[in-house]
Amino acid sequence: MGTKAEFGPYFLSPHFSAQILPLLENKGFNANPEDILGIMVKIADEANGKINSDRSVEKPLTERDLGLLKEGYEKSVEVLVEAGVDPSSIVSTPIRGAHPGGTAAIGKVVDSNLETKIKGLFIADTSVIPQAPGRPPILTVTALAKRLAQIIEERTEIETKSPLTA
Ligand SMILES: Cc1cc2nc3c(=O)[nH]c(=O)nc-3n(C[C@H](O)[C@H](O)[C@H](O)COP(=O)(O)OP(=O)(O)OC[C@H]3O[C@@H](n4cnc5c(N)ncnc54)[C@H](O)[C@@H]3O)c2cc1C
């Protein structure tokens, strides 16, 4: 069980990563996984980056992103030390990307009805979220899917009731 703490554009939540074990070993600590107290820093990063035609992904971190990660790291150290963790045993895993999105953003690739320039071709997944919410996206994805279902239903009703198709 755990709780998360919100700090505006980033939040901290309990997290375990197997990557922590070798990092601790390098520092001379032989810890069991159940002895580890881990915190994840999740930021709302800036909307940059792209997917290239060869399927490679570019996602450079901006100065603001790095600043937020640093702030979150420092706040995590504060929390861990307060919880009784030996400061010399604190390690940090490499920065990882999660919850990718924004590659077909509303306002750029799709309109507010989630439709592309090709009539009848819709997108309803994390790719349409224009700005990272900095929070887990699954509820937003579910809401987008429900919204699109409603749009398609309404449109189908209009088309089937139209005198031209009757
Ligand atoms: C380890 C992990 C933990 C996570 N934990 C959380 C969490 O706790 N809370 C939260 O809110 N979010 C969490 N997420 C994020 C969340 O799961 C994703 O952001 C979300 O599922 C994205 O939804 P999506 O519809 O955009 O993409 P996906 O869920 O990835 O759906 C894309 C679908 O398209 C299919 N597909 C791909 N290519 C093709 C193709 N060519 N033809 C046909 N089908 C194709 C795939 O098989 C897949 O089913 C987590 C993600 C991971 C990886």
Report pLDDT digits (tens) over 10-67.
Answer: 999 999 999 999 999 999 999 899 999 999 999 999 999 989 999 999 999 999 999 9
What ligand 1 atom has the least distance to the C-alpha of 101?
A: 26
Beta bridge partners of 7: 10
Tokens of 19: 């990557």
What is the CB < 6 Å shell around ligand 1?
A: 99, 125-126, 136-138, 141
Parse the chain into domains and list their residue ranges: 5-89, 99-166
Per-residue pLDDT of 66-78, as tens digits, reads: 999 999 999 999 9
Query: What is the whole-number distance in angstroms between the Cα of residue 141 and the centre of ligand 1?
Result: 9
Handedness of CA 93, 88, 11, 35 (dihedral sign): positive
Give the pTM. Answer: 0.82
Q: Which atom of ligand 1 is nearest to the CA of 126?
A: 26
Q: Which amino acid is at 94?
A: P
Single-letter amino acid, residue 45:
D
Question: Does residue 141 surpass a pLDDT of 80?
Answer: yes
Atom of ligand 1 nearest to the CA of 99: 19
